[in-house]
Structure 1
Amino acid sequence: MKTNLRTAPPVVRSPMRPHPWFGFLRGLLFAAMPGMRFGAAPRATPWLAAAIARRRLLLALVAAFAVAAWALTPEGTPWPQALLQTLLFAWVAIGFVTALMGGWVMLRGDPHALTLKRPHAPIDRGARTAVIMPICNEDIATVYGGLRATCESLAATGALSLFDIYVLSDTANPKLREAEVAAWQRLRTMLGDGEVDGGARVFYRWRRRRTKRKAGNVADFCRRWGSQYRYMVVLDADSTMSGRTLVDMVRLMEENPRAGIVQSLPTARAQDTLHSQLQQFATRVTGRLFSLGMAFWQLGESHYWGHNAIIRVEAFMTHCALAPIPGRGGLAGEILSHDFVEAALMRRAGYEVWLAPQLDGSWEQYPPNLLAELQRDRRWCQGNLQNARLVAEPGWRPAHRAMFVTGALSYAIAPLWISFVVLGTLLDAPRLSDDSAVVLWVMTAVLLLMPRVLGVVAVLAAGEARRFGGSAALVASSVLELLASAVQAPLRMLAHTTFVIGALTGLKLEWKSPPRQAGTVAWRDAAVSIGLMSLPLLALAVLGQRSGEIGAWHLAPLVLPLLLAVPFTVLTGSEAVGRAVRRAGLLVTPEDREPPRPVARAAENRGFADLVPPPVVNAARGAAAAMGRPRAVMAAGMAALAVFVTLPQTGITPQLSPAMQAQRDLFALMRSSPISVPQVRLEPSPVALRFDASYRPAARIDDDIRRRALEAVQRAEGQESYERLVNSLAKAAAIAP
C-alpha cells in the first residue's frame, strides 16, 4: 500500500464539544426544583398533541392488563411471585398493543406520520449530503459489495453530485487495512470516479486513534468534514440503500427544517442459514407491525438505530456530542449504545426524531446463527443498561425517558422471568391446575401469539400472499417460525440473564463486530456456549417437577428447548439446512422472489472477494479435538514453542537500538551486494536493551528514508561514493531517537 496515497479531501476542522452529564441524583434534584428548565421547550404541533393522547391510551391499556393479571393471581400465591407475574404480563401486553396499533396503521394509515409532500421537488444544490460507513475489521466483500450497489443506485437517480461517500475505517489489522484501500481503489474505478483532488465522490479515511468506537468514528468525521455538509446518512458495514430512498430522505429533511433525524426501516437481507432466514421472515411479516406501532406511539420523538438514517449535521455537532458517564464498572465510561442517547439529545435541543417506515429501500444483514446474534445482543445489553443511568438527565422528553427504561427492561426482563420460574419452583406456590392460573396462562399465550396472527392477516388482507410463496406457504412458514421462536426464547432468556449479570458486575466486554458471512457452527461451540448455560435451569425444572408443584406438561415449553438447544443451534446455523428449507418453498419473502436491484448487486460481491485476506485459522483447537490426549499435549507444546520463538517480534523482549538495527541491516546488504568493495569499519553503538512492551524502535525510523538510502548504496559504483553513503547512513542511525 502506498504510504503517500491521498484517500480523503482536505480537512476543514469544526468543534464538537460534549457537555458533562448531571448524573442520576443531581438530575432528580434539578427536576425537584420549581421553575427549572433545561433544553428547548417543545413546540405545540398537531402531531405532538396526538402523540400525548396516544401514549395515555397505551398506559391505560397496559394498566388494565396489569390489573387483570393481579386479579387472576391464584389465592395463596406469595406476593413476590404475584408481583413478578403482574409485571411480566404487563410487559407482554405492551408488545401486543403495539402490534395491534401497527396493524391498524397498516390498514388505515396515520395522518400524523412524516410523509413526503413533494416527491419530485428539485433539491437545493447546497443540500450536500455525506454517506458515511464506519467499519472496523469487517468483511471486505460485504462492505464494498453493498457500497457499490448503493452508489450505482444513487447514480441512476441523477443526484449523485449531491452526495459524497466516506468509508471510515477503525481497522487495526494492517493486512485487512491494505485490502480496504485496494477495495476502495477498485470501487472508484468501477464507478468511474476521478482523482481525490479533482471531484472524487468516494473517500477512505483510516483513524489512527480508535477512541469511543463507532460514535467516536462518526464524531471524528464531523470534526474533520462535517461543516462541509448539510446532512449525513449513516450506514452500517452490512447496509445497502437504494438511491431513490436516499434522495427521498434528503427531500424529507428539506421539507421539514425541524427534523433532526429521520430513521428508515431496514428490511432484513438473509443469508443462506436457516437462522438468518427465520429472522428475515419474522421481521418481514411480524416485525413491520411492531415498527409501525412504535411509530404510532412516538411520532416525532422516535428511535434512532444508529444506521440507515439521515441526520442534520449542524444540529448533531452542536447538541449530540457524547461525554463519558462518570464512575467505574461496566455501566460507566464511554457510551456504548450511542444512538438512543443521540436521539434524546437531538429532541432535547428542539429538533424532531422520526421513524419513517414508508422508506422501504433500506436493507441490512442479520447474524447468520444464534451464537452471532447473542454476541451482538451482549453489546446491546450493556449499552441499554448503561443508558438507564441517564434516565434522570434534565431536559429529556418523557418519550425518550421511557425508551431508556424499556431499553434496559428488554434485557433485564430475562432475569425477571428466571426469578419467576425459580420462585414458582422453590416457594410453596399453588398448583397450576387452579382455574384462574389456567386463564392467565392462556391469556399470556394469546398475547404472545396474536402479533404473528395479525402479521399473517395483514399480508393476506393486502393481497401479498403470492409474494411469500402463496397462502399455504405463508401459513406454514409462520408455524415454522413460531416453533423456532419457542425453542429460542428460553435460550435467549438465559443468555440475556448472563449478559445482565456480567454488565452489573463489571465484567469486561470484548467489542467485536458480528460475522457478516455465514459459517458452520461447530458442535463444540454450541455445547460450550449454549449447553453449559442451560444446565442450571434444567436442574431447577427437574426440581420443580419432582416436588410435585409443577406438572411435566407445564415444564415442557421450558425443558424441551433446553434439551434441544445444542442441535438446534447447529442445525439453524447450517447453510445446507437453510437451502433445503428454501427449496421446499418455506420462509420465502418478496426480496427472495423478486430481489430489488441494489440487493441483487450487493450479493454479487465477486468484484471484491479476491481482496479478502485469508483468515487466521486456529489449528491447535481443531487438532486437539481430533487427536488423542498425548497428541493434544504434544500439539500444545509445539504451539507454545512457536509462540516462544516469535516473541522477539512482538515487542515484549529486549530489542536493538535504532542505530544498531540500521547497522545490522547495512551489514546484511553489504554481504549480499554484487559489488566488490573493501570492508568499511563502523564502530557499533552500545546495544540498548528495553523491556517496555510498547517499545517499537523500527516504527520510529522513517522507512522511506532508509529504503532510499539503501537503494543508493546498491547503486554506488566507486569506493569513495560507497564509503560516503555508508558513513552518512551510520551517522543518521547513531542519532536516531
Structure 2
Amino acid sequence: MDKSKTQGPGKHRWRLVANMRRAVLMLFVFGQTGVASYYLLWVLPYHGGTALEIGMLALFAILYAWIAVGFWTAVFGFVVRLMGGDRHSILKRHPDAELQQTPMAKTAVLLPIYHEPVHWTLSGLKAVYRDIERTGQIEHFEFYILSDSRDPDVWLEEQVTWNRVAKELGGEGRIFYRRRPVNLNYKSGNVADFLRRWGKRCKYMVVLDADSLMTGSTIVRMVQLMQREPGVGILQTNPNIINGQSLFARIQQFANRFYSTLFAAGLAAIQMGDAAFWGHNAILRIEPFMKHCGLRKLPGIGIFGGPIMSHDFVEAAYMGRAGYEVWLEPGLSGSYEESPPTLADELARDSRWAKGNLQHLWVMLREPGLRFAHRMAFLNGIMAYVASPLWLGFLILTTIAAANMTLSPIEYFPDGHQGLFPLWPEWRPEWALGLALSTLALLFFPKFLAVIDAVIHRYTKDFGGLIRLFCSVMLEIIISVLLAPVRMWAHSRYVVSALLNVSLQWAGQNRTEETSWKEALITQLPGMVLGAGWSAFAWSLDTMFFLWSLPVALPLILASPTAVYLSRNSLGQALKKRRLLLIPEENTAMALLEDAVTYRAQEPADSTLTPLEQAVLRLDHNRLHQALAWDHRRGSRKAELELCVARCLELGPDALTRSEMSQIVRDRESLKALHEGAWRSVPSSFWGRSIARLSARAKDA
C-alpha cells in the first residue's frame, strides 16, 4: 500500500475515537435491548415458557435493537452538534483559507442515465455546469453523460439534447455522451465502462444520479479536500431532498431535510473514516477505485448468484479493505436529490433495492478482509427491508398467542415445562404499557430532539417558525404512522420475492404523475384485505386485542385513499402556501436551484414528430446521429439491415421491433438511406404524412 495513504492529520487518532464511540453505541443499544427484552419476558403470560413466547421474544429483541441503533445515532448527532461539530471530521481539519489555496485536479462529473426524462435530466446537469462555471474552476472539470437507454426514441432524444446543451454552454470538448450498446451489470457496469475508456484522463470522479444537483462551490470544495487528504478514497455528502410537489414528496422532503441534521451528524460521528458510499453525490479517487473496487459476480445460487445490483456499499467496503478511508461529511452542504412523487413510485424503487440489499448478505458473510464497520453497514441495509417480515412475523405470533389464550384452555404444563408444579400464567398490563411507551419513545423522541436542536441553533425560521415547524413534525408523524404498515406489507413481499429470485425490471423513475384510484386499488388491495381480515379476526377474539390491532390494521385498510391523496400536487402546494412542511431552500434563493427550475421550464415546444421521426427527416438531426453511429454493414448484417430499412420506408417504424429499429438507427449508412428514402416517399405514405406535419410545424414557427 502506498505510504502516502497512511499519512495525514489524525489518522490513528480517529481510529481510536471511532472504536470508543462504537463501543459506547453498542453498550447503549444492547443494554437497552436487554432491559426491554426482560420486561417483555415478564409481560408474557408464561414468561418464555413456551416455544411461541421464545419466538416472540427473539423477534422483539432483534427489532428493538435495530430501532435502538437509530435512536442512539440521533442522540449522538445531537450531542456532537451541541459541542460545535465533530472536530475529527476531515472538513474540520482544514481552514477555509487553506482549502482555497489548494490546487485543483482534473475531475470527471458522471451522469449515468436509463430511460429518464431527457430534457429534465440534462437541464439539471446544465445547472450544475453553470454553477461550477461561477466558481471560476470549470477548466478542471469534464462531464460525461453515460446512457443505458434501450428505447431508440429515448436515446435519439438524448443525443440531440446533449448536442444542444453542449452548444448552449460552449462546452464542446468538455461535455461528452456515450450510450453502451450492451448494458451489463446495471449502473455499476455503466461506470465501469467509462473507467475502462476514460478512467486515466482524470484523478477524481463525482457521481450524480438523474435527479442530483450539487453546487459548484461544494464540488470544488470536495476536490480540494481530496487533494489535502490522500488517504481518502471516497467522500460522501448528505444529499437533501428538494423540489417536492406532491404531498408525499413534500413529507419525504421535510423529514429528510429536518431530521437528517441529527441522523447524518450522528452517523458520521460513529462511522468516521469507515462510512458507506450511497452511489451518488460523492467524489471518488479514480486510481484506487479502478484497482480495488471491481465487482465480481456472486458465485452462489438464486439471488446470491450473478451481478451485484446494489453496488455502492460494496465499493465502499472494497475501498476500505484496500486501506483507504471513506467519509460521510454532513458539513458539505449544497448537495441535493429528489424524492419519488408517490407512494407507488417509492415502493417500486424499494422492490429493486430490497433485492440488491439482500445480496449484501453474501458479501457480508463470505468476503474476506472487510472492515467490521462496513459489515455492520451491510447488516443495517439488510435490516432496512428484513425488519418488515420480522415485524409481520411478530404480529402473527402475537395473534396466535392471543387466539390460544382466548380459544384454548390454559396450559399449566406447556411444552418444555417439567416438574410437579404447574406454570401459572400471569398478566402484567402496566409492564406492557411501559414497554409499548418505551418503544414509541425510540421511534418518535428523535423527531422532537430535532426540534430542540433547531431551537438551540436558531434555525426554526428556516422551517417556517417554531409553531409551523412543530405542526409540520406532527403532520409528518401522522403520515409516517399511516405509511408504516403499508411499507411493512410491501417490503415483506419484496423480501420473499427476492429470496425466490423473482426477476425485476429496471426503469426510469416517474417524476410527475399522480396516482389514480384504479392504480391505488389494484396495488393496495391485498394489503387492504389482509388488514380488514386481521381486524375482524381480532374483534372475534377480544375487544382489547381488536383495539390493539387497529394501529396496524387501519392504515392497511385505508392504504388506497392514503396513496391517492398523498400523490396530489394540489395538497402539497396548499400546505406550502401555509408555510407547512417548509425547508430552508424554499426560503433562500440559490443560483443552482433557480437555474435548474428555469432550464427545465424552457423545454422545447412539443413537436408533432417523435425523436425517431425527426432523426430520419431533419437533416441536422440525421447528420448528428450519423456522426455518432457506426458502420455495422459487414457480412450477413448488410442484407439484414437493408431489409429493415426497406420495410421501415415502406410501412413506417411500427413495422419493426424495437430491436430492429435500434439496429438501423445505430448504423451510419442506414440512417443516410432512411433520410434520403423518406424524402422521396409519396404523400400518402407514413413518411409523406410525417413530412407534411413537419412542414406545417415549420410554417407555424
- Tell me if both proteins adopt one fold, taking TM over 0.5 as the criterion: yes
**1:312 and 1:527 mapped to 2: Cα distance?**
47
How does the TM-score come out when normalised to structure 2?
0.81
With over 3 angstroms needed to count, the CA separation of the structure-2 counterparts of 1:533 and 1:346, relative to structure 1, is same
**2:430 and 2:238 mapped to 1: Cα distance?**
43
1:540 corresponds, among 534, 542, 559, to 534
2:116 corresponds to 1:138: yes
**1:334 and 1:376 mapped to 2: Cα distance?**
18
- Greater helix proportion: 2
Q: CA deviation at 1:271?
A: 2.3
What letter corresponds to residue 287 of structure 2 in structure 1? Answer: E
Contact 2:645 2:673 in 1 (8 A): no
Q: CA deviation at 1:462?
A: 1.2
With over 3 angstroms needed to count, the CA separation of the structure-2 counterparts of 1:611 and 1:232, relative to structure 1, is farther
2:485 corresponds to 1:508: no
What letter corresponds to residue 406 of structure 1 in structure 2? Answer: N
**1:230 and 1:544 mapped to 2: Cα distance?**
62
Alignment match, 1:166: 144
**1:444 and 1:565 mapped to 2: Cα distance?**
24
Unaligned runs of 5+ in 2: 48-52, 406-424, 611-636, 651-655, 681-701
**1:168 and 1:502 mapped to 2: Cα distance?**
30
Count residues in correspondence: 611
What letter corresponds to residue 254 of structure 1 in structure 2? Answer: Q
1:229-240 aligned at under 5 Å gives the runs 229-240=202-213
Cα RMSD between the aligned structures?
3.2
Alignment match, 2:553: 559
Alignment match, 1:377: 350
Contact 1:176 1:613 in 2 (8 A): no
What letter corresponds to residue 367 of structure 1 in structure 2? Answer: P
What letter corresponds to residue 472 of structure 1 in structure 2? Answer: I
What SS does the aligned partner of 2:503 have? coil
Contact 1:261 1:352 in 2 (8 A): yes
What SS does the aligned partner of 2:241 have? strand
Contact 1:179 1:611 in 2 (8 A): no
Residue-by-residue CA offset, 1:546-588 (whole Å, 9 max, x unaligned): 2128533322211221122111110010111111111222111
Contact 1:432 1:550 in 2 (8 A): no
Alignment match, 2:593: 599
**1:534 and 1:45 mapped to 2: Cα distance?**
54
Unaligned runs of 5+ in 1: 1-36, 195-199, 617-654, 669-690, 716-737
**2:129 and 2:645 mapped to 1: Cα distance?**
50
**2:594 and 2:58 mapped to 1: Cα distance?**
51
What SS does the aligned partner of 2:302 have? coil
What letter corresponds to residue 423 of structure 1 in structure 2? Answer: L
With over 3 angstroms needed to count, the CA separation of the structure-2 counterparts of 1:454 and 1:702, relative to structure 1, is closer
What SS does the aligned partner of 1:141 have? helix
1:296 corresponds, among 240, 259, 269, to 269
With over 3 angstroms needed to count, the CA separation of the structure-2 counterparts of 1:174 and 1:702, relative to structure 1, is closer
1:31-430 aligned at under 5 Å gives the runs 45-73=12-40, 74-75=43-44, 76-77=46-47, 78-108=53-83, 109-115=85-91, 117-120=94-97, 121=99, 127-194=105-172, 200-392=173-365, 393-427=367-401, 428=404
What SS does the aligned partner of 1:178 have? helix
Residue-by-residue CA offset, 1:48-88 (whole Å, 9 max, x unaligned): 11111111111111111111112111142511112212222
Q: CA deviation at 1:186?
A: 2.0
Contact 1:265 1:362 in 2 (8 A): yes
1:570-585 aligned at under 5 Å gives the runs 570-585=564-579
Contact 2:528 2:558 in 1 (8 A): no
What SS does the aligned partner of 1:69 have? helix
Contact 1:337 1:383 in 2 (8 A): yes
Contact 2:531 2:557 in 1 (8 A): no
What SS does the aligned partner of 1:403 have? helix
Contact 1:373 1:514 in 2 (8 A): no
What SS does the aligned partner of 2:305 have? coil
Contact 1:141 1:612 in 2 (8 A): no
What SS does the aligned partner of 2:264 have? helix
What SS does the aligned partner of 2:560 have? helix
Alignment match, 1:727: none
What letter corresponds to residue 129 of structure 1 in structure 2? Answer: T
Q: CA deviation at 1:531?
A: 2.7
What letter corresponds to residue 263 of structure 1 in structure 2? Answer: Q
Percent same amino acid among aligned pairs?
35
With over 3 angstroms needed to count, the CA separation of the structure-2 counterparts of 1:546 and 1:611, relative to structure 1, is same
With over 3 angstroms needed to count, the CA separation of the structure-2 counterparts of 1:129 and 1:706, relative to structure 1, is closer
What letter corresponds to residue 258 of structure 2 in structure 1? Answer: V
What SS does the aligned partner of 1:609 have? coil
Alignment match, 1:13: none
Q: CA deviation at 1:290?
A: 1.2
2:454 corresponds to 1:487: no
Q: CA deviation at 1:614?
A: 9.2
What letter corresponds to residue 107 of structure 2 in structure 1? Answer: T
With over 3 angstroms needed to count, the CA separation of the structure-2 counterparts of 1:479 and 1:442, relative to structure 1, is same
Q: CA deviation at 1:521?
A: 0.5
**2:608 and 2:298 mapped to 1: Cα distance?**
39
Contact 1:658 1:697 in 2 (8 A): no
Q: CA deviation at 1:696?
A: 8.5
What SS does the aligned partner of 1:318 have? helix
What SS does the aligned partner of 2:585 have? helix
Q: CA deviation at 1:251?
A: 0.7
What letter corresponds to residue 575 of structure 2 in structure 1? Answer: V
2:563 corresponds to 1:569: yes
Contact 1:258 1:351 in 2 (8 A): yes
**1:557 and 1:422 mapped to 2: Cα distance?**
15
**1:598 and 1:710 mapped to 2: Cα distance?**
40
**1:54 and 1:701 mapped to 2: Cα distance?**
56
Q: CA deviation at 1:328?
A: 2.9
**1:267 and 1:100 mapped to 2: Cα distance?**
20
Q: CA deviation at 1:664?
A: 7.1
Q: CA deviation at 1:145?
A: 1.9
With over 3 angstroms needed to count, the CA separation of the structure-2 counterparts of 1:287 and 1:531, relative to structure 1, is farther
1:451 corresponds, among 443, 446, 449, to 446
What letter corresponds to residue 535 of structure 1 in structure 2? Answer: V
With over 3 angstroms needed to count, the CA separation of the structure-2 counterparts of 1:549 and 1:92, relative to structure 1, is farther
With over 3 angstroms needed to count, the CA separation of the structure-2 counterparts of 1:452 and 1:125, relative to structure 1, is closer
Q: CA deviation at 1:667?
A: 13
Q: CA deviation at 1:141?
A: 2.9
Contact 2:107 2:141 in 1 (8 A): yes
With over 3 angstroms needed to count, the CA separation of the structure-2 counterparts of 1:452 and 1:494, relative to structure 1, is same
With over 3 angstroms needed to count, the CA separation of the structure-2 counterparts of 1:664 and 1:231, relative to structure 1, is closer
Contact 1:139 1:612 in 2 (8 A): no
What SS does the aligned partner of 1:45 have? helix
What letter corresponds to residue 335 of structure 1 in structure 2? Answer: I
Contact 1:127 1:230 in 2 (8 A): yes
What letter corresponds to residue 572 of structure 2 in structure 1? Answer: G
How does the TM-score come out when normalised to structure 1?
0.78
**1:186 and 1:587 mapped to 2: Cα distance?**
37
Contact 2:341 2:512 in 1 (8 A): yes
What SS does the aligned partner of 2:507 have? coil
What letter corresponds to residue 38 of structure 2 in structure 1? Answer: A
Q: CA deviation at 1:709?
A: 12
Residue-by-residue CA offset, 1:181-202 (whole Å, 9 max, x unaligned): 22212212221234xxxxx221
What SS does the aligned partner of 1:168 have? strand
2:461 corresponds to 1:475: no
Instruction: Answer with 473-482 or 77-86: which moved more.
Output: 77-86
What letter corresponds to residue 465 of structure 1 in structure 2? Answer: T
With over 3 angstroms needed to count, the CA separation of the structure-2 counterparts of 1:321 and 1:400, relative to structure 1, is same
2:457 corresponds to 1:462: yes
